[in-house]
Amino acid sequence: MFCRNCNSKINNTFLDLGHAPPSNAYLSKNDLLKVERYFPLKVGVCKNCWLVQTEDFIAADNLFTKDYAYLSSASETWLKHCKNFVDYSISEFNLHSKSLVLEVASNDGYLLQYFKFKDIPCLGIEPTEYTANIAKGKGLNIINEFLTRKLAKEISLSKGKADLIIGNNVYAHVPDIKDFTHSLKVLIKENGVISLEFPHLMNLISGKQFDTVYHEHFSYLSFTTVVSIFKDAGLRIFNVQELDTHGGSLRIFGCLKDSIHKENISVKRMLDKELIFGITNIKTYDSFQEQAELIKNNLLGLLIKLKKENKVVMAYGAAAKGNTLLNFAGIKSDLIRFVFDNATSKQNKYLPGSHIKILNPSEIKRSNPDYLLILPWNISNEIIESLSKFKESGMKFIIAVPNIKII
């Protein structure tokens, strides 16, 4: 395997989760009668540029298919986060009715809608047809394609360059991170700003978040590595913020190398923080596999114990990270009867691999589980709060990552 960024040979394994189906490949009842495709799910570390990356087995267009079911608008916490960002960026970067905001992976328009409300011209790029159509239904302009350098050139000629380019949770999802970064360079105005949010590798390691590893996630990014990828593309990062989203993310602000933006002290601070943490020391990556296996074994032990006690366990949140955990642990519907999820696009389908049926949360009362395993632990507070009436009547919640917890 060769590094996607610097082409160095990678000969180590950071994490090996065996074989798994793509995390967002939800199945219909009919699909259950067909062969399901499994791919190796293995992650290595480049000792030259420290890009942590999955081995490339599946092309991206096989992952982000036209019925890709992930809808960003499904989480209230996330919507609030995005609205705050829109307000912040309008005042921070002086955006107005003559500006252009461009979002890559605009999904169902969860973010651009807030720019539209403020009459700031915006354009989304979204490869999955299903989500792109929802965004179009909100009156947003969407280009239904993957961002490539070629598309970037076409857009900059036909629509002009952008004052602000946003990419939330897309940078880690692009297979060719170099080409993607060059595309951003093609699209940005002389003093424009690129804002990217991605889960921080440092939190993944310290929080044992092995379940955030899935095929759609090609890269696991440190600030150190992103700084060097930007530099190679003729860009630079002038500010970085730490966010609580997705178990701990970074928001970076980048610009063209010679642009007017002054470098904030946060840039040097974050580089120092990662150096002290050991991002550029291979020993930091050594014990991750062991930690993932311990979490898996603890969860399995608990589920088997509860089964023997005749307790009924179900799950909440049909998120990608849940599928990684369930498939790595080999959990099926004998241990977890159903999973509940608010997204209507997922309801009455089945989780890939585990084949656990997804139901509307309105069915929780009738199903009456003793325990509910919360799969998207990053929004567990929001979920527990919304289900507080069940908690009062005795239902317990289980969280598996970073350590087994019963609430």
Q: Which residues lie near Zn ion (CB under 5 A)?
A: 3, 5-6, 8, 46, 48-49, 51
Question: Measured from the CB of residue 276, what is the shortest distance to Zn ion in angstroms?
Answer: 22
Question: Measured from the CB of residue 233, what is the shortest distance to Zn ion in angstroms?
Answer: 15
- Give the contacts of 188 (CB within 8 A, at least 6 positions apart): 161, 162, 165, 194, 255, 256
Nearer to Zn ion, 5 or 131 (CB): 5
Which has the closest alpha carbon to 399: 370, 369, 367, 376? 376
Nearer to Zn ion, 3 or 27 (CB): 3
Residue 111 contacts residue 169 (beta carbons within 8 Å):
no
The CA distance from 220 to 135, in Å, is 28
How crowded is the C-beta side of 46, counted as CA atoms within 13 Å?
23
CA angle centred on 62, ends 61 and 64, rounded to 5°: 65
Buried b (16+ CB within 10 A) or exposed e, 385-399: eebeebeeeebebbb
> Which token pair is 63?
């992952």
Residue 100 contacts residue 161 (beta carbons within 8 Å):
yes
Compute the chain's Rg from CA coordinates: 21
C-alpha torsion angle, residues 113, 116, 118, 123 (rounded to 10): 110
The three-state secondary structure class of 197 is: strand
Question: Measured from the CB of residue 45, what is the shortest distance to Zn ion in angstroms?
Answer: 9
Nearer to Zn ion, 9 or 80 (CB): 9
Nearer to Zn ion, 27 or 205 (CB): 205
Nearer to Zn ion, 10 or 194 (CB): 10
Question: Measured from the CB of residue 324, what is the shortest distance to Zn ion in angstroms?
Answer: 24
The distance of Cα 68 from the centroid of its chain, to the nearest Å, equals 14
Question: Measured from the CB of residue 360, what is the shortest distance to Zn ion in angstroms?
Answer: 44
Question: Measured from the CB of residue 48, what is the shortest distance to Zn ion in angstroms?
Answer: 5
Question: Measured from the CB of residue 51, what is the shortest distance to Zn ion in angstroms?
Answer: 5
**Would you say how long the chain is, in residues?**
407
Nearer to Zn ion, 8 or 344 (CB): 8
> Which token pair is 233?
């593309």
Nearer to Zn ion, 49 or 303 (CB): 49
Nearer to Zn ion, 5 or 89 (CB): 5
Question: Measured from the CB of residue 227, what is the shortest distance to Zn ion in angstroms?
Answer: 13
DSSP-assigned beta bridge partners for residue 254: 194, 237
Question: Measured from the CB of residue 180, what is the shortest distance to Zn ion in angstroms?
Answer: 16
Kind and range of the H or E run holding 206 = helix 201-206
Nearer to Zn ion, 65 or 280 (CB): 280
- Give the contacts of 210 (CB within 8 A, at least 6 positions apart): 15, 17, 204, 288, 291, 292, 295, 324, 328, 401
Nearer to Zn ion, 2 or 117 (CB): 2
Question: Measured from the CB of residue 282, what is the shortest distance to Zn ion in angstroms?
Answer: 13
The CA distance from 220 to 207, in Å, is 14
